[in-house]
Amino acid sequence: MTGPADTIVSPATPPGIGGVGIVRLSGADVPVIGRKMLGSLPAPRMASLATFRDARGQAVDTGIALYFAAPASFTGEDVLELHGHGGPLVVAMLVDACIALGARRAEPGEFSKRAFMNDKIDLAQAEAIADLISSGTDQAARAALRTLSGEFSTAIDALVERLTGLRVYVEAAIDFPEEEVDFLSDQALAERIDDCRLRFDGLLENARAGRVLRDGYRVVLVGKPNAGKSSLMNRLSGEDTAIVTEIAGTTRDVLRENIDIDGLAVELVDTAGLRENPDIIEKEGIRRAREAMASADAVLWIQDATDKDRNALDEQLPDDIPVIVVRNKIDLVAAGSGEGLALSARTGEGIDALRRQISELAGYHNLGEGAFTARQRHVEALGRAAGHFSDGVEALEAQRAGELLAEELRLAQQALGEITGAVSSDDLLGKIFSEFCIGK
């Protein structure tokens, strides 16, 4: 961006043939360019039929022109929309005409970025625009719309406000030491802390589920060779994707299959069995299996119920990713108890319980009508903020250190500010908006 004042132009409709093709302009030169193209600037927010002319005065198209005067527009700047005929050439000619008259081609996400810069929307809302456009299920679309309308941001802002209140309270107590506050017996303080903790818990839970709604949930199947990983993937997906044989070491590549558990998009990843002394191809398969585990939301640890030594690979599991232990092939063993979920990939017994467990682990059961989408970035920032908050409370309880609590609260607020963009770096903004489509 060369400055907020320069005027950008882009097609707002996708390339291709359609009923209408829309070209959008935003920036300080919009009134000048609009007058040249249309003869006169339309009254704000009134649809006007006009001939669109290029810099030489030649007609390019006729259509509807819509003018939004700053600051009452999407970007907060002067905006002009030209609704012409939806052919790729017509749209390209209109864009060229605008450029000849002084506009420049917009970068991806630049309209939304300007809306953010001009305080029309915050960062989470800007991201929700992209999420709404690219949402894959109607539930995800509705949730993205809720984030776009500000529900997520409002909850974050409310928490920031509570943290500020708490900080002011603690700092006031530190500033007047002669009043001799005893933090530990202060009931009002305890109530404020509890309130913040509840809000953190609720928001984190919602954001995690909202992240899954946007990105889906990735479940990686791992275990010893022949445990029945591929059989289970085929059973869950109802497809015959993976080759199943009684030969240990059948699967060498990483295989993926998308399934839907009551509306939750789950990506299943089948991997090569983990074992000692693999051959050279299997070795690469095992390396890929570990790589897949590292990016998983959950691991299905599949054991063969007939295998006495079935826990042998326990120590190879990642310790920061939830693991569901599955005892497969229970059709072969007398009903007995043991660790994990008992099922049979062959008969289908226990599969529904597994589905339920996956959806619970994903936090999906919590998604009610009020669900909103969130991104991994938001979940991480919230997690960091919650960490600072609990560190601060711990310092207060252990050392009666109000200063430490105040400092951690400041850091927590800063982390929350990254979500809405109250605190943001050029790098972060560049990264977020460059992922937008052109014209948004």
Ligand X SMILES: Nc1nc2c(ncn2[C@@H]2O[C@H](COP(=O)(O)OP(=O)(O)OP(=O)(O)O)[C@@H](O)[C@H]2O)c(=O)[nH]1
Which residues contact ligand X (rule: CB under 6 A)? Answer: 223, 225-231, 244-246, 248-251, 272-273, 328-329, 331-332, 344-346
With contacts defined by CB under 5 A, name the span among 31-39, 58-66, 245-253, 332-340 that binds Mg ion: 245-253
| CB closer to ligand X out of 197 and 346 | 346
Nearest Cα to Cα of residue 93 among 53, 153, 45, 147: 53
Exposed / middle / buried, residue 431 (Cβ in 10 Å: 0-12, 13-18, 19+): exposed
Provide the angle, in degrees to the nearest 10, between the axes of the packed helices 187-215 and 138-148.
Answer: 140
Residue 191 to residue 393: CA distance in whole angstroms: 12
Q: Smallest gap, in angstroms, from Cβ of residue 253 to Mg ion?
A: 10
Single out the residue of 251, 303, 373, 420 in contact with Mg ion (rule: CB under 5 A): 251
Q: Smallest gap, in angstroms, from Cβ of residue 331 to ligand X?
A: 5
Q: Which does 353 bind (CB under 5 to 8 A by kind): Mg ion, ligand X, none?
A: none
Q: Smallest gap, in angstroms, from Cβ of residue 234 to ligand X?
A: 8
With contacts defined by CB under 5 A, name the span among 7-15, 58-66, 247-255, 323-331 that binds Mg ion: 247-255
Q: Smallest gap, in angstroms, from Cβ of residue 242 to Mg ion?
A: 6
With contacts defined by CB under 5 A, name the span among 8-16, 228-236, 275-283, 425-433 that binds Mg ion: 228-236
Provide the angle, in degrees to the nearest 10, between the axes of the packed helices 151-175 and 138-148.
Answer: 40
Nearest Cα to Cα of residue 227 among 280, 165, 289: 289
| CB closer to Mg ion out of 250 and 366 | 250
Give the interface size with Mg ion as a residue count (CB under 5 A).
Answer: 4
Residue at shortest CB range from ligand X: 273
Sign of CA dihedral 288, 290, 291, 295: positive
Q: How far is CA 110 from CA 9, 302, 314, in A?
A: 10, 47, 49
Q: Smallest gap, in angstroms, from Cβ of residue 373 to ligand X?
A: 34
Q: Which does 332 bind (CB under 5 to 8 A by kind): Mg ion, ligand X, none?
A: ligand X
DSSP 201-250: HHHHHHHHHHHHHHH-EEEEEEESTTSSHHHHHHHHHTS--S---SSTT-
Residues in the chain: 440
Q: Which does 25 bind (CB under 5 to 8 A by kind): Mg ion, ligand X, none?
A: none
Single out the residue of 73, 230, 303, 328 in contact with Mg ion (rule: CB under 5 A): 230
